Structure 1
Amino acid sequence: MRRNRAENDASHTRLTRRAALLGGAQLLFMGGLAARMRYLQVDQADQFRLLAEENRINIRLIPPARGEIFDRNGIRLAQNVPSYRIVMVREDAGDVDMVMDRLAAIITLDPEARERVVAEIKRSAPFLPVTIVDDVSWDDVSRVSVNAPALPGITPEVGLTRVYPRGPDFAHVVGRVGRVSQADLDALEDPDQVLRIPRFQIGKINVEAREEGLLRGTAGTKQVEVNATGRVMRELARREGESGKDLQLTVDAKLQSYVQARLTGESAAVVMIDCQNGDLVSLASAPSYDPNLFIGGISSKDYNPLLNSIYRPLVNKTVQGTYPPGSTFKMMTAMAALEAGLIGPDETVYCPGHLDVAGRRFHCWKRAGHGWVDLETSLKQSCDVYYYDLALKVGIENISAMANSFGLGIKHELALSSVAAGLTPTKAWKKANRGADWVIGDTVNSSIGQGFMLASPLQLAVMTARIASGREIIPRLIKSVDGVETDNAEIPLLSMNDNNLRKMRRAMYEVVNDRRGTAYRSRIIAEDMRMAGKTGTSQVRNITTAERARGVTSNNDLPWERRDHALFVSFAPYDNPRFAVSVLVEHGGGGSTAAAPIARDVLLQALAGGDPPLEAYPAGDRDRIQEQQEKLRALQPQAALDGKDQA
């Protein structure tokens, strides 16, 4: 049907309008696209260039060198040494099992460790290196390098690892490091990213752990270029980190080695402290263990004997162990009475061998009793009844307060793990912790260091140093940090009557140097090295009435774990105290026989700076001591005898 002209004009108009609209839309779209392209390519060019660089360049951490630890004379106790390891990159190795077989023919591979490594290789990204074996010898590295063409994907690497050249001598002081565990990370609110570096080592116990912040240092960084799969192509830049700080301890490595050798065969602890400044010169716990076994992960074969031993080699008995101090505590009861003005030095108490209190009989160690005794005689012969009588006059609150003044019942702040506070009980303590009222018998028991009373060898050494010096000696373990001496301000005097302290020192002198003193057999006869001390026996079992009636069983006739602990505290020289020492021998029996001889030997060794002259010992002991010194020299490494660095 033929349309008229008007209809054709209308149709043409509609087409023109649509074309205009479509063209306008196309123009708008192209304009917007051009504007967006300009925005992305010009305005946002810097941002996208940065994003591209971030994908191409990675920032990686460089582990810092750990600070080293030295003794007071500069002998290394913990050091970093080059450690060689063998690593594999799976994508370069190809057939992992075949390459492992070839490697096993060249160096020794533990079958179980090999299985774990293969499993780790298969779990890891193909381009990441996985350690096959740690701490290999230079000979093994050489063999692997020579056979490199036959070992695709295998590469020897070198790094730093921790070594303890003095081994067991300082395991309970320096401590040890180990690989960072998930538990370590969970314990920190905001863990340092360096801790996430594979196989990074941190301190686990003692100085290594407590001074981790100083020893660790700060990580460096390096920029590396990676490809699309994350493989490192090249290193672009490097910023070195800051090594950890070196620490110098107050402990004398040569003396420590001697003390550890002297404690061979014992479950014991020795603490020696400088009476002038509080420096801990020796902290020895026996038996010990080799901390080097833990560095790469200790085996069950090595760990189980340590864990299950009845002698507890993993426990630092010097600060973690708390024991009834026994008669070494009697000076505290006496000082409480003297300071309160309740007794005079010449007042006497009659000891028939027991004292009846509130319907209960408390026995003296000497069944027949000591007769009339004064303060000096009571300490010299360690009469228990004298202190039972004092306890009734003084009371537990005064006794415990006096003990606190001398460092007992106080947690001393040291860079050691699990430092115990001990216990100086009070009426309120018993009510809160035992749900019972304090009774007079508790006070009587406490007066001779039994009952609830507990102290560590460290605390007993501090107590003795304060008696010897009359000053508020505070134990110190860190001597300097990166060569800068730690704060060692003047030590204030104790707020005690100096005459009372002199009485204590004189009585302790008589304990060792009077023929009737309990430690007379362990005296020092050299005039310039004379020793004062106090014996102690810490009862670990109840003695029944029936047993007392038939005679108390000798320690030698009891199983080891039921024998009494032996203790001895002392200082020397008497006229000018230099060192104070406490000795604990677990289940050693009597303090006079088991602990006092050790204290004498240790003090003489410290005062002489090595093996003392035999003339310092009583004539009857000299042959035995000479033989003992020869045996102890054989137990110590030559470097320790020379006082030289083993690095």
Structure 2
Amino acid sequence: MKTRPLAQDKSRYKVLTRRTLMLGGIQAGLVGTLAARMYYLQVLQADKYKVLAEENRINVRLLAPQRGRILDRFGVPLAVNQQSYRVVIVAEQAGDIDSTLNAIGTLIPLGDNERHRVLREMKRKHSFVPIMVRENLSWEEVARIEVNIPELPGVQIEVGRNRYYPFGDRVTDITGYVAPVAEKELTGEAVMELPDFRIGKAGIEKAQDLELRGTAGTSQIEVNAFGRIVREISRDDGRPGEEIATTIDMALQDFTMRRLRSEESATCVVIDVVTGEILTMASSPSYDANTFTQGLTNAVWGALNTDPHTPLNNKAIQGVYPPGSTFKPVVAMAALESGMITADFRVNCPGVFTLGDHDYHCWQHRGHGTLDLHGGLKNSCDVYFYEVAMKIGVDRVAAMANRLGMGELTGIDIPNERPGIIPTRAWKLARFGQRWVDGDTPSIAIGQGYIAGTPLQLATMLSRIISNRVIVPRLVRAAGVMEPGKPFDPDLGAKEFATLDFNPAHIAAILSGMNAVTNEQGGTAYAARITDPGMEMGGKSGTAQVKQITAAERERGIKKPEQQPWKDRDHAIFIAFAPVGNPRYACAVVVEHGIGGGKYAGPIARDVLRECQRRDPSRRVPPDPMIVAAAEPSVGAPGSPTPPPEKTP
């Protein structure tokens, strides 16, 4: 056996020692690097990674703010937030989803669309996330689900909050309604993408949407590694939306809607001529805003759209009608202010006005004889106003109509108002490429032909004549609600409106003629007068022709209005003010296809103005207890409160 030399062993030892030192150095370097990195992460960057860890553990979720209420002028709620109930299902607990949905469907109505939506959402969401099956459950439906919960795995009842309109269709045209945000309405705000967030789509809900929304809140939720909610750490409900006080007197609005329902289709507006506040603006038939918040079916939507009575339109601001003889005060004011006639200007009415080879008939075929302005208004003599309009010309009439708020937007503080039409020579040339001819003017004199306006414009026109100021109607009350127990200030909320600088004698002449219409025997609306002392009204009736009467029809004999189809009958229109001695309220009523203004629209104006004066706050009429009760949701019940019983006007 050979042995290695000692020198060779020492050389090998030196090589091993160098390798050991090298490996040790590398290990020491790695350990040092790791230690340095750990020091960097755990000490120097501790705050940063603590925040990141917390963000993974804690989710911050937006909460939809509580929407502000809408109130009437006395504080009666017109739009509120009501507790609602919905049934949800958790997929991981439900087992056989189809069987569970079938079981739910035996307890509450559940359509195919709702089933398909639930199945779609389950495919794109975690199995532990609750899926809404149906919302806005009635108390009876909640009870049926709760009783059967043990046989419905994964099914729960959740409490939410939705918009509720206590008076249904009686005030929808004013409040409007809310609905989910459409894709085209998204602005990038995160809160608008919340599934339970709603925005205003019409009326005050839309016009005051930003004020009513409030500010979104936040909820800090602790979740585990799988995203499952462990607990809520903190909650900030945000700032609720502002309360909006309207100018509406809900008791008067309720009375007006009930009164209008005596006709197939009608509308009524009352304006305070001092403040410009609208006390009632009713359009009948209307629709229940709650159907939009609770889920509108295709059948209901189709019925609303195809109804010939146009319930989806607010007729007060969207209905455009020839004003008929209610336009005669405008013609009178234009003639008086131009200086081309005085109140003593007299015209002989033989029953027809002839211009060239065309005859323009007066409604009174035997004629009225010789009349001044007072008699012309009292008897609504067409020939009188044919003569006056021909004397001053269409452009003077149009200029006065514009000053009085017709042919343009009034500026009311809700959307979708229509401007109507006030024709001029330039308008006809631009619209039809034809020159204005003398034969066009007589029709304008009696509110027919090319002319058209809304009921709100008619009420505004009368308000401006009475007040001699540029009244701008409004529905939002700047001064808030009228608080009980405080002294009544009749001018509270009045604005500084520009003056029209009309001659007071001219205003008095027109109002005197309108007073004669209702309060002097022989006036066209004498039968519709208010007989209560101190509440008397002045008015002006009008009939807006819907269908042109041909010469052949005239020869054969015109059918009585009642014999014509409803859609071919003339509109009945009436404007009025009260009380006569000190006018405070201006009213406009349109009864679609109602035949005669004094006979059909006049009594409505009479009843509404009498009730309006009876409810004047200066008379300190107590709140209507039925109205107050109707505004209060039923205690403990998720469904609609029971409305007050119908009353016959």
- TM-score bracket for the superposition, by shorter chain length: 0.7 to 0.9
Amino acid at match of 1:478: V
- The 1-side partners of 2:585 and 2:547 are apart by 33
Aligned match of 2:292 in 294, 299, 313? 294
Shift in alpha-carbon separation, 1:598–1:247, aligned structure 2, 3 A: same
Amino acid at match of 2:606: R
Provide the residue aligned with 1:355 in structure 2: 353
Gaps of 5+ in 1: 1-16, 611-636
Out of 465-474 and 172-181, give the one that drifted further. Answer: 465-474
Provide the residue aligned with 2:587 in structure 1: 581
Pairwise CA distance, 1:200? 2.0
Provide the residue aligned with 1:564 in structure 2: 570
- The 2-side partners of 1:329 and 1:183 are apart by 42
- The 1-side partners of 2:109 and 2:387 are apart by 71
Amino acid at match of 1:547: E
Shift in alpha-carbon separation, 1:32–1:149, aligned structure 2, 3 A: same
What secondary structure is seen at the aligned counterpart in 2 of 1:173?
helix
1:151-190 equivalent positions in 2, closer than 5 A: 151-185=152-186, 190=187
- The 2-side partners of 1:18 and 1:400 are apart by 109
Aligned match of 1:444 in 430, 442, 445? 442
Provide the residue aligned with 2:324 in structure 1: 326
Q: Verify the 8 A CA contact 2:70 2:80 in the aligned structure 1.
A: yes
Q: Verify the 8 A CA contact 1:567 1:591 in the aligned structure 2.
A: yes
Pairwise CA distance, 1:484? 10
- The 1-side partners of 2:28 and 2:60 are apart by 46
Amino acid at match of 1:552: I
- The 1-side partners of 2:159 and 2:257 are apart by 34
- The 1-side partners of 2:149 and 2:314 are apart by 47
What per-residue deviation string (whole Å, max 9, x for no partner) do you get for residues 106-154 of structure 1?
5554455334433433343323211112122445445545554543322
- The 1-side partners of 2:58 and 2:348 are apart by 88
Provide the residue aligned with 1:646 in structure 2: 632
- The 2-side partners of 1:515 and 1:262 are apart by 26
Shift in alpha-carbon separation, 1:18–1:392, aligned structure 2, 3 A: farther
Is the aligned partner of 1:259 residue 2:245?
no
1:216-255 equivalent positions in 2, closer than 5 A: 216-255=213-252
Q: Verify the 8 A CA contact 1:77 1:164 in the aligned structure 2.
A: yes
- The 2-side partners of 1:324 and 1:405 are apart by 18
Out of 422-431 and 45-54, give the one that drifted further. Answer: 45-54
TM-score for the superposition, normalised by structure 2: 0.86
Q: Verify the 8 A CA contact 1:180 1:199 in the aligned structure 2.
A: no
Q: Verify the 8 A CA contact 1:247 1:481 in the aligned structure 2.
A: no
- The 1-side partners of 2:325 and 2:148 are apart by 69
Please provide the CA RMSD for this pair.
3.0
- The 1-side partners of 2:480 and 2:19 are apart by 86
Is the aligned partner of 1:595 residue 2:601?
yes
Q: Verify the 8 A CA contact 1:273 1:462 in the aligned structure 2.
A: yes
What secondary structure is seen at the aligned counterpart in 1 of 2:159?
strand
Gaps of 5+ in 2: 1-17, 484-491, 617-623, 634-649
- The 1-side partners of 2:537 and 2:479 are apart by 34
What per-residue deviation string (whole Å, max 9, x for no partner) do you get for residues 199-222 of structure 1?
322221111111111111111101
Shift in alpha-carbon separation, 1:105–1:362, aligned structure 2, 3 A: closer
Provide the residue aligned with 1:489 in structure 2: 495
What secondary structure is seen at the aligned counterpart in 1 of 2:317?
coil
Is the aligned partner of 1:69 residue 2:70?
yes
- The 2-side partners of 1:545 and 1:108 are apart by 59
Pairwise CA distance, 1:582? 0.5
What secondary structure is seen at the aligned counterpart in 2 of 1:259?
helix
- The 2-side partners of 1:261 and 1:21 are apart by 101
Shift in alpha-carbon separation, 1:297–1:415, aligned structure 2, 3 A: farther
Out of 328-337 and 260-269, give the one that drifted further. Answer: 260-269
- The 2-side partners of 1:413 and 1:326 are apart by 23
% same residue: 45
- The 1-side partners of 2:556 and 2:423 are apart by 33
What secondary structure is seen at the aligned counterpart in 2 of 1:527?
coil
Pairwise CA distance, 1:20? 12
What per-residue deviation string (whole Å, max 9, x for no partner) do you get for residues 496-548 of structure 1?
00000000000001111222211111122233111111011111121222223
Is the aligned partner of 1:87 residue 2:73?
no
Pairwise CA distance, 1:462? 1.2
Amino acid at match of 2:273: C
Q: Verify the 8 A CA contact 2:75 2:481 in the aligned structure 1.
A: no
- The 2-side partners of 1:373 and 1:484 are apart by 47
Q: Verify the 8 A CA contact 1:255 1:606 in the aligned structure 2.
A: yes
- The 1-side partners of 2:531 and 2:202 are apart by 41
Out of 60-69 and 352-361, give the one that drifted further. Answer: 352-361
Provide the residue aligned with 1:548 in structure 2: 554
Amino acid at match of 1:216: R
Q: Verify the 8 A CA contact 1:254 1:643 in the aligned structure 2.
A: no
TM-score for the superposition, normalised by structure 1: 0.86
Q: Verify the 8 A CA contact 1:260 1:286 in the aligned structure 2.
A: yes
Q: Verify the 8 A CA contact 1:350 1:372 in the aligned structure 2.
A: yes
Is the aligned partner of 1:519 residue 2:519?
no
- The 2-side partners of 1:32 and 1:595 are apart by 94
Provide the residue aligned with 2:646 in structure 1: none
- The 2-side partners of 1:397 and 1:409 are apart by 13
What per-residue deviation string (whole Å, max 9, x for no partner) do you get for residues 171-228 of structure 1?
111111222232332xxxx343212111322221111111111111111101112233
Shift in alpha-carbon separation, 1:166–1:226, aligned structure 2, 3 A: same
Out of 542-551 and 302-311, give the one that drifted further. Answer: 542-551
Amino acid at match of 1:639: M
Aligned match of 1:205 in 202, 225, 230? 202
Aligned length: 604
Amino acid at match of 1:124: K
Pairwise CA distance, 1:440? 2.4
Shift in alpha-carbon separation, 1:422–1:44, aligned structure 2, 3 A: same
- The 2-side partners of 1:525 and 1:368 are apart by 31
Provide the residue aligned with 1:627 in structure 2: none
1:19-38 equivalent positions in 2, closer than 5 A: none
1:325-474 equivalent positions in 2, closer than 5 A: 325-474=323-472
Provide the residue aligned with 1:5 in structure 2: none
Pairwise CA distance, 1:491? 4.0
- The 1-side partners of 2:425 and 2:229 are apart by 69
- The 2-side partners of 1:175 and 1:122 are apart by 36
Provide the residue aligned with 1:625 in structure 2: none
